[in-house]
Amino acid sequence: MHHDTLLLIAIGFYALSASGLYLSIRGHSSSWRLASITFCFAGAVVHGLAQSGHWLTLETLDASMLNVLSLCALTSVLLLCGSVFSRNSLYDASLVALPLTMAVLALEWLLPSRSLMPGNPSSGTTLHILSSVMAFGVFSIAGVYALFVAVIDYFLRHHHLNPFVRALPPLETLERLLFQLITIGFILLTASLLSGLVFVDDLFSQHLAHKTILSIMAWMLFGLLLWGRWRYGWRGRNAVRLTLAGIVLLVLAYFGSKFVLESILGRNWRSG
């Protein structure tokens, strides 16, 4: 089946799933929750089929930013679907995750993709670029969840329990999902930094020093956040602030340094 058709089918399943979950949370029949989970699994399968063509082999690798974000969104959905089999289900967070995933799929369907991979990359370069971009994609999605955590926390602190807030997933559920995504992103960022040290010949001659330093700062910040969560149970506003600060560092590393290098200095990362 054509890639674009699969994207539209996945969007349809996710829309049905989100609608069923909303009705379930608002106190309608529990059968709506079961229907939501069923549609979510179906959407994830179709979404996976749509993405498989981009990632199955290195020869056909299509690592555009939208494809990477789509893959990261799929990872988030699979985490939620898998959690229904555990005691501490995160599935209610799908009320936030599914509309976000649908928006990413709609952009993937509407906009042309441009691969981020250079021609005939080595396996080491491929590992470095993919881990870097996927880390940024996972952290980008985590940033959206962090904003929702901030919104819910604000309303709860000010006792504004309006229908919008009541329809959102519990704060604790979103926080648990947020830290799961941060953990995945931290692992990917670690792989990116290690592969960069191994496979990039000279960071300074290739003008990658600023990007590397900012990425290491972000890595340290996310590592501190995960340690604080494990050791002291950090949550709420502290977690949101550190998450967004780390994402700002990554944005500066990935796009700020690229803008300065290419638009101001007129160079690229491969030139001397």
What is the C-alpha to C-alpha distance for residues 55 and 120, in angstroms, rounded to an integer? 15
Distances from the Cα of 94 to the Cα of 46, 66, 102, 168, angstroms: 17, 20, 11, 10
- Residue 191's pLDDT is what? 92
What is the C-alpha to C-alpha distance for residues 183 and 177, in angstroms, rounded to an integer? 10
Q: Give percent of the chain with pLDDT exceeding 70.
A: 79
The sign of the torsion formed by the CA atoms of 11, 34, 26, 176 equals negative
- pLDDT tens-digit series, residues 74-100: 988 998 898 888 877 888 888 889 999
Q: Is the pLDDT of residue 33 over 60?
A: yes
- pLDDT tens-digit series, residues 218-255: 999 999 999 999 998 888 888 899 999 999 998 888 76
- Residue 57's pLDDT is what? 56
pTM value? 0.77
Boundaries of every domain in the chain: 1-108, 117-272
